Structure 1
Amino acid sequence: MVVLNRIYTKTGDHGETALGNGARVAKHSMRVTAYGTVDEVNATLGLARLHAKGETDEALARIQNDLFDLGADLCRPDMARDAEAEYTPLRVTANQVTRLESEIDTMNKTLEPLRSFILPGGTPLAAYLHLCRTVSRRAERLTVELATMEEVNPDAVKYLNRLSDWFFVAARVSNDGGTSDVLWVPGANR
């Protein structure tokens, strides 16, 4: 359980922060950058949810919760020592990745195949979902970079990869089933 009875601690005043295992690292470390960017995805998702309803909003709420799981996963290095931890560290699972894939497949069945690239935009929800897509791609790139330096849960990387695809397809669905997609016209303004 998390108890936040004090919001500021002053422990980060010199440019360091604590990871989930208690280790202190620079706030600009790649690990902090990766999970901080996952937090940015979650914040942009909060904006998207202002325009979502019904099943779409429920799916976005599940993803927001997953993103906290992902942040918890990324802020806890040294997976090999998970068994020694005082409590079992939270890790993203293959089931979370599979759920995204299933939802992508279900949404995509309702859409016509693409014949052009799509410009971010359309309905307000679609525009915000495209923003979520681009920020999640950045989070994925940073997490992949982190994985070249330190151990990272492979399911965390897969989750981020599927998530940007989920946002893309959900944006199309939110654009009136793709009929309001804004299509790229190559060289239109030459």
Structure 2
Amino acid sequence: MKIYTKTGDEGFTSLYGGKRVPKSNDRIDAYGTIDELNSFIGLLRDQEISITHKNFLTQIQIELFSIGSILATPHNNQKKKLNIQKISIEEIEALENEIDHLDTSLNPMTHFILPGGHVTVSYCHVARSICRRAERLAYALHHHEPLEKEVLIYLNRLSDYLFVLARKLSKELTVEEIKWIPKKTNKEV
């Protein structure tokens, strides 16, 4: 199979099932952002982090491929999504359990923190912010083409997980978290 097909040269692409849509379509934007997120998670997984984190991130990447396939398939596809794996409550619960597990070793949040401090932590924050964008795009699509609620919940929990993972990586890498403390304005003085 050739990598290039030339079928997208006029600004259109095919959804799963064959329907042709503009490359600027909401569905294309949503699953393209999932692909971007998956790539950044791969970059994060390639860093010097524990095998436990790497394995959990690998599972997330597998689940993101499922989400990308779900988003690439029109709701009314007659082929009924051709064996696309759904996102389950169990996968959402796995994220929640991992968030709770990581959070037990962290100091309580008292302020917002600035992203950064170490390249690995920064990659995690970039993935988190891409995940938030993917969630917004999925909701935009959901408002005119309903998606399974588990996809939307999963993306929300995934961004929470990536935030807590960034904090955990800061601790493991002995990086100081910089608190965001807003400057006082003249009116407050």
User: TM-score, normalised on structure 1?
Assistant: 0.89
1:116 maps to which residue?
111
Distance 2:25 2:87 in 1: 21
1:76 maps to which residue?
73
- 1:104-140 CA-partner distances (Å, limit 9, x unpaired): 1111111111111010012222111011000000000
Task: For residue 165 of structure 2, give the secondary structure of its aligned residue in structure 1.
Answer: helix
Task: For residue 35 of structure 2, give the secondary structure of its aligned residue in structure 1.
Answer: helix
Distance 1:56 1:89 in 2: 26
Query: Which deviates the most, 119-128 or 159-168?
Result: 119-128
User: TM-score, normalised on structure 2?
Assistant: 0.89
1:181 maps to which residue?
177
Distance 2:185 2:45 in 1: 34
Long gaps (5+) in structure 2: none
**Is the contact made by 2:73 and 2:81 (CA closer than 8 Å) also made in structure 1?**
no
**Is the contact made by 1:77 and 1:152 (CA closer than 8 Å) also made in structure 2?**
no
Matched, 1:104 2:99: yes
Matched, 1:48 2:13: no
1:111/1:149 CA distance change after superposition, 3 Å = same
Q: Could you tell me which of 20, 31, 55 is aligned with 1:35?
A: 31
Identity of aligned residues (%): 38
The RMSD of aligned alpha carbons is 2.1
Shift in Å at residue 189 of structure 1?
10
Distance 1:181 1:62 in 2: 27
Matched, 1:25 2:21: yes
Long gaps (5+) in structure 1: none
| Residue identity opposite 1:180 in structure 2 | E
Distance 2:110 2:133 in 1: 26
